[in-house]
Structure 1
């Protein structure tokens, strides 16, 4: 690391931890915890100071014991706390603390389940382990950990490793060690003799392999569990797998357990490395900060990520759970065994694009789904001047928290998928295996991954990939036709319009993935054609169908002439089209994104959508719906355009509803179920009279009788939104009452990370009332102080800031900027990147309205006249 700020922030390396004995006593009755920590240190250089991380802890009885022929026990001459840097400087380490179990969603915190059941769990990533115990809280400084938990005897203790022993505390048993002695002293100091309160127990867990502090985990509560197992295809060993939750949730963990049982052996085969721990648990918590966490041996996450009613056939919810579970299981290798040296290489953990779901659930066709779940989000996140490279300097904790975004997750995954397609999946996975084996239980940087894939593939990976991860942005490929073929030019794509020279210096190595069609109608995809300069000419017969970026594997936009786009669209609409589902998804998304940025007209994107009205595939329709709803969102204050877009939605989706109906069957394929749901949602968002009336009738029946059988789980969201929108105050009150009665996992179904692995919520809200798009910013302004305190230091606050991006006028931009710059004298450093991106998004939407309003009005008017 080169910057002085980064050097100042990072801990000195003259003293490193090698092993930590952590003892935590949890008192759920009083919301308190305390404990002792013994840390073995390797002193690399003589020093008079020892520096480690701590935040919000009270330390006492600090002592250093030296080893050797003459061992000494020393107390520190001074203890200096730096609250800003979250560290402590003293002559020697040694630890003791008592603290409160808060609801901060980080460190060691409390959650509340059904029937007000209180329990406690940890969330340490990225820099919150120091809030639970003093430590060397950096990913490079790996150590082994031995965790001991002291708790009420009627609760369950969990940690990364299996339980070695568990005993009821008995001060008269005659078996004393440091833990028993310490507990006796604590209880005595509190005036509690044995038998005067609930019994305590001491749970000792096995010693862990070397790991970073952010992966340490423990939990205490009245948990129940479901149990399964898997047999390693590499060694034949059978390992237990458990899914833990509170009593009200545990039966809903069966599907998550099923996914885990099948994912583990597949990942062992993919990486050619056996899972190294004796067990792997999953814990579902009612209160969790966006998504899930890959704690080694104890995955944790929100109930919305893991809980599913055993009788539910909701395909989208199953996909969300499977995606999250598989992502966290993959981390057991890609991040936990081999960990990035520092947070600037976070994508080495989060950008893993190897997913086992396609093998577990082939009927879901998840390869094309990657485009809507990651590829699109990567493009949208990286198309502005306020974006940042995937590999980004992180000099302090404030910056570290901000990089858990779509660039570290979705862009990283997308460029790795692009590399995999270019070199071939088999060679790519072989290279990943080489990389992991060379850095088992150690740390890595970007070049280590590139070297592994280079060895397996024989290509110069750094030369191809460095600009994709070290530079900001991605290219737009402008395609011009000539008598001999095509001429392709690359420039940086920006949502604000064509890049100025100062912002257009990067030349990417772009796999063009050129699709052509032979005389016998066979499709050929040339993956060897690469654009590694500003522009080049390619010979081809343009009279036959062709397309760049076949399969939408390269992270770029492709700009065709309007005439070529129409030809490609007509070819894509044919039943015998040479263009895949992935191609059609990419065509639609490129057309709208290019119009948003001013490279082309919105009317061209709308015309392409009109051509594809007989499209059979759910994923293409999903992308069409998202982009039309984006138009409605941007122009929500323009009643005329809003009405036109809604009419177009109704026109496109109502025929699908007529074909597919409202009833779900266990015999339906996954695509049929999802397309039915999407069609009903799309038609309802367009206020289709027939669909709205049907949904209102089903809701009315539910209100009259209490019978919800006419509202399948897939239609709950749309039925209640329509009822609120169309039914007035009474329906709104009913919806509010229902929301309060729902389990937390139901209320949060759309608010989990991509993968969260993935990132911001991506499912919910697309049917919301227009006013809902500005309610979150309005409420944020009113409640800033409380929200800032409530979410201080965690990820959720940044997503609240990002909600302002739904605004669309210059006035909105000015008011938002002024609010954050001046009002309440806010410290915006902790979310500056997200704020900058949000403000730029508002400007982009405002510019789009000014530029394209007349074009959209003209297209709808001419279409109306033609009908």
Structure 2
């Protein structure tokens, strides 16, 4: 890590040599705490820098002559302190220093400030408008062929200190008043107003000032502001609790803001729902969403000013893309959930990040949208997305607990992962199901109301649920939150009895017992002699137990797949449950079927059972046309492809099987979308065509037909720029088919659209699907061209390139070598954001051989600074080891099944 270049403008400045991070507490001293910030910020876009002044009201908790706060990459000057209620004398520090590693400024004053007194601290500062997507940074957009600049903030988790000196910890809440001086605001700002001398070195022009109302108590990481030529769409919502009407706006650049209409509409609808569910009124006078082109994260829940990527938030008003609408709803509902989970009630420290992110995922991506869009069947989608995603991260020894210790800043960014989001949401969903969703929400409301404008830890949440339900939530949830991993329940049978045993599930080829004993909600579904189903909410609290069950009737554990665990039956019982689940009017619902298939594939990938005993779950899939089943099978087939991607025979047979599954669906549904068709039909069509593109074989007429259908549409678009033959749902697939079928000419045409988009829709598409299409090129020269091209694009898109290239069999090893050769450059550019760990994982996880394992291990042990992605390296190595074992143990079984599947149809 490069040392921070901050310094103080004092002749008496001296550099501070800090203690090693490993022996020094990361948290700030507690002798002082902030009460209020009065922040004035001057932004000069033409000079690419900002300057400001902040006056901070402080409470003195203990006698101290030092003031220690956070600052990073700022030049600080004019530091002074006055004692409130004392004489007007301003005290200046006798010494000051920078702790560059821990990002602190330390001021020492001539005498101690007494406990119980109040201070006003003044600091002036100057900082650069960098393009690294953190702190207060600069972004770009184009208008009439000219590059325009804007500025915006991304402070979570620890980057507010890059924008102004502050107490940058979630526990240290304060109120904020702010004034922004820029070239595009409301009130004139001239020399007579320039008490801080901002205009002294400013570029020429008219400067204006905007003053904002004082905020409620809030943490620094959700402070936000932006400056640029933005336009907005406006709506409103009326509070069902108070009757107050509040404005809602979606801001964006002039060329694209009209595509924010759908986001505006769903925001208007959801805010009253959140108020009613929590019984807590939205506390601010407005809610804005700013859609921007440069952002490391996809969206950020800044209080009153949500920020989000254009590619994720904008939708052509003429489009009826169900998938894209779902993504906008789930993302925006997630961020609005944070207005309560995180903003009003905030975790005490980043150890408890899941209290923010797990809840926002559960509420914003399942409970609330499911009430508003029941036709989307989001509970099943949650199983196939979040539970499976979390388990794939949590089935390793390199996993970490949901409640994870974060002693220093390097680790905080790394825990914004599938465990803090998806696992946390999954186990909270499990608790909600066990106690009843409505009672669970009552407990959540009690928790929030007990900590309004305050901070919380895990025990506070459990107390709220326990007060509402009388259920011991703390005992039930402890192992799922405080320990890594999750259980697998092995089921054996004897004389009308099932015997269940729990152990830790690991994907590494074995199931190993751990010291942990989980409280497992078995949710045992049984059927009586009259065919009536019932569910017994048994909680397994020991290593093993037995239960009486009529083995002549269907039964299943984890009914509805609400529990966060795997279930392993005998092969005979598994086949019987699969047969029962496939019958019309089965007692097993969609969640049961999804969970059954997921458990089967997970078992395939380790030595619990031979793969051939589990892949029977494919049989009969053609009887299910629900999109989620087919997506799940697609994902499972993709997971097989990630292991055997260098085995031509396996890949040929997998693709043949995929074509068999999806050709009839594509033939039946065709390539045209209708605004009034069932959402499932739209998604199913896209899924089928996507699979045919992925599994193409030029010798098979049906797949060639799919390729020609898509490529013909691209040719018409390229020649005429008429996009009427390109449904938004098929944009990415059409561009991919063009690159694969049209060769270098089509590749260069797509690259030109990215460089020079002619319409807002093209510009939006260039953010993601066009880039990903470039990554599917199969010729070596085009792959190398893509690798060169990705270095010229926005930093936020780098991950898209890497993920795309590592899905391309011909590109995988080429990019791995590129990453190794240019590691220092990539690391320096991206190390401070959220994406560096994902890039490392996306690059190396696809590797499959013993040599790959040894080379990768040696690469990261060779003097690399891995502190910014320390959690990713062991995960990568474990993934590679899993694939090695999977290939060694299961290749023959997989080939046998694939060669003979036709006989079972």
Are 2:195 and 1:181 aligned?
Answer: yes
Work out which of the residue numbers 351, 356, 359 in structure 1 matches 2:358: 351
Work out which of the residue numbers 831, 840, 849 in structure 2 matches 1:792: 831
Are 2:867 and 1:829 aligned?
Answer: yes
Are 2:696 and 1:679 aligned?
Answer: no
> Residue 507 of structure 1 corresponds to which residue in structure 2?
517
Does the 8 Å CA contact 1:402/1:833 hold for their aligned counterparts?
yes
> Residue 665 of structure 1 corresponds to which residue in structure 2?
674
Residue 354 (structure 1) shift: 1.7
Does the 8 Å CA contact 2:710/2:733 hold for their aligned counterparts?
no
Residue 45 (structure 1) shift: 0.7
Work out which of the residue numbers 357, 363, 385 in structure 2 matches 1:373: 385
Residue 784 (structure 1) shift: 1.7
TM-score (norm 1): 0.92
Are 2:827 and 1:808 aligned?
Answer: no
Per-residue displacement from partner, 1:26-70 (whole Å, max 9, x unpaired)? 111111100101001001111111100011111010011112243
Q: How does 1:349-748 map to 2 (within 5 A)?
A: 349-352=356-359, 353-355=362-364, 356-501=368-513, 504-526=514-536, 528-687=537-696, 689-704=701-716, 705-706=719-720, 707-741=722-756, 745-748=764-767
> Residue 901 of structure 2 corresponds to which residue in structure 1?
863
> Residue 48 of structure 2 corresponds to which residue in structure 1?
31
Per-residue displacement from partner, 1:229-254 (whole Å, max 9, x unpaired)? 00001111100000001111100101
1:497 and 1:394 map into 2 onto residues whose CA distance is: 30
Does the 8 Å CA contact 1:101/1:110 hold for their aligned counterparts?
yes
Does the 8 Å CA contact 1:391/1:470 hold for their aligned counterparts?
yes
Are 2:143 and 1:104 aligned?
Answer: no
> Residue 891 of structure 2 corresponds to which residue in structure 1?
853
Does the 8 Å CA contact 2:619/2:904 hold for their aligned counterparts?
no
- CA gap 1:403/1:866 in 2 versus in 1, 3 angstroms: closer
> Residue 114 of structure 1 corresponds to which residue in structure 2?
142
1:368 and 1:677 map into 2 onto residues whose CA distance is: 18
Per-residue displacement from partner, 1:138-188 (whole Å, max 9, x unpaired)? 000001111110001xx25xxxxxxxxx4111335xxx5xxx311xx3323
Residue 863 (structure 1) shift: 3.2
1:545 and 1:268 map into 2 onto residues whose CA distance is: 43
Does the 8 Å CA contact 2:805/2:811 hold for their aligned counterparts?
no
Residue 663 (structure 1) shift: 1.3
- CA gap 1:766/1:668 in 2 versus in 1, 3 angstroms: farther
Does the 8 Å CA contact 2:653/2:899 hold for their aligned counterparts?
no
> Residue 15 of structure 1 corresponds to which residue in structure 2?
32
Question: Aligned with 2:77: secondary structure?
Answer: coil
Per-residue displacement from partner, 1:651-710 (whole Å, max 9, x unpaired)? 111111122221111121111100010011112222263143233244235325434433
- CA gap 1:767/1:799 in 2 versus in 1, 3 angstroms: closer
Per-residue displacement from partner, 1:447-496 (whole Å, max 9, x unpaired)? 00000001111011111111110011000110111112211110000011
Residue 774 (structure 1) shift: 4.3
- CA gap 1:204/1:845 in 2 versus in 1, 3 angstroms: same
- CA gap 1:765/1:188 in 2 versus in 1, 3 angstroms: closer
TM-score (norm 2): 0.89
> Residue 212 of structure 1 corresponds to which residue in structure 2?
219
- CA gap 1:866/1:308 in 2 versus in 1, 3 angstroms: closer
- CA gap 1:519/1:701 in 2 versus in 1, 3 angstroms: same
Question: Aligned with 1:811: secondary structure?
Answer: helix
Work out which of the residue numbers 266, 282, 294 in structure 1 matches 2:289: 282
* Cα root mean square deviation, aligned: 2.2
Work out which of the residue numbers 172, 191, 198 in structure 2 matches 1:171: 191
- CA gap 1:641/1:260 in 2 versus in 1, 3 angstroms: same
1:325 and 1:6 map into 2 onto residues whose CA distance is: 41
1:710 and 1:602 map into 2 onto residues whose CA distance is: 43
> Residue 8 of structure 2 corresponds to which residue in structure 1?
none
Question: Aligned with 1:251: secondary structure?
Answer: helix
Does the 8 Å CA contact 1:776/1:800 hold for their aligned counterparts?
no
Q: How does 1:324-343 map to 2 (within 5 A)?
A: 324-343=331-350
Question: Aligned with 1:667: secondary structure?
Answer: coil
Does the 8 Å CA contact 1:603/1:856 hold for their aligned counterparts?
yes
Q: How does 1:184-203 map to 2 (within 5 A)?
A: 185-189=197-201, 197-203=204-210
1:240 and 1:683 map into 2 onto residues whose CA distance is: 46
Does the 8 Å CA contact 2:42/2:198 hold for their aligned counterparts?
no
Number of equivalent positions: 829
Question: Aligned with 2:294: secondary structure?
Answer: coil
- CA gap 1:28/1:186 in 2 versus in 1, 3 angstroms: same
2:548 and 2:319 map into 1 onto residues whose CA distance is: 53
Question: Aligned with 2:623: secondary structure?
Answer: coil
Bigger drift between 33-42 and 678-687 goes to 678-687
1:436 and 1:621 map into 2 onto residues whose CA distance is: 39
1:20 and 1:672 map into 2 onto residues whose CA distance is: 53
Per-residue displacement from partner, 1:412-442 (whole Å, max 9, x unpaired)? 0000000000000011000000000000000
Does the 8 Å CA contact 1:303/1:744 hold for their aligned counterparts?
no
2:805 and 2:594 map into 1 onto residues whose CA distance is: 18
2:656 and 2:241 map into 1 onto residues whose CA distance is: 57
Residue 762 (structure 1) shift: 14
> Residue 788 of structure 2 corresponds to which residue in structure 1?
none
1:358 and 1:287 map into 2 onto residues whose CA distance is: 31
Runs of at least 5 residues in structure 2 that lack an aligned partner in the other structure? 1-19, 110-120, 773-798
**Which of 1 and 2 has higher RCO (CA within 8 Å, sep 6+)?**
1
2:828 and 2:71 map into 1 onto residues whose CA distance is: 20
Does the 8 Å CA contact 1:725/1:769 hold for their aligned counterparts?
no
Per-residue displacement from partner, 1:723-757 (whole Å, max 9, x unpaired)? 323443223333333344455643445799xxxxx
Does the 8 Å CA contact 2:802/2:839 hold for their aligned counterparts?
no
2:763 and 2:567 map into 1 onto residues whose CA distance is: 42
Does the 8 Å CA contact 2:713/2:726 hold for their aligned counterparts?
no
> Residue 4 of structure 2 corresponds to which residue in structure 1?
none
1:411 and 1:145 map into 2 onto residues whose CA distance is: 34
Residue 821 (structure 1) shift: 1.8
- CA gap 1:110/1:13 in 2 versus in 1, 3 angstroms: same
- CA gap 1:575/1:98 in 2 versus in 1, 3 angstroms: same
Bigger drift between 681-690 and 431-440 goes to 681-690
Does the 8 Å CA contact 1:681/1:767 hold for their aligned counterparts?
no
Question: Aligned with 1:806: secondary structure?
Answer: coil
- CA gap 1:606/1:22 in 2 versus in 1, 3 angstroms: same
Residue 769 (structure 1) shift: 3.3
Are 2:104 and 1:66 aligned?
Answer: no
Does the 8 Å CA contact 1:49/1:89 hold for their aligned counterparts?
yes
- CA gap 1:343/1:281 in 2 versus in 1, 3 angstroms: same
1:670 and 1:306 map into 2 onto residues whose CA distance is: 20
Question: Aligned with 2:195: secondary structure?
Answer: helix
2:620 and 2:868 map into 1 onto residues whose CA distance is: 46
Does the 8 Å CA contact 1:684/1:692 hold for their aligned counterparts?
no
Question: Aligned with 2:215: secondary structure?
Answer: coil
1:600 and 1:723 map into 2 onto residues whose CA distance is: 42
Residue 799 (structure 1) shift: 1.1
Q: How does 1:276-315 map to 2 (within 5 A)?
A: 276-315=283-322
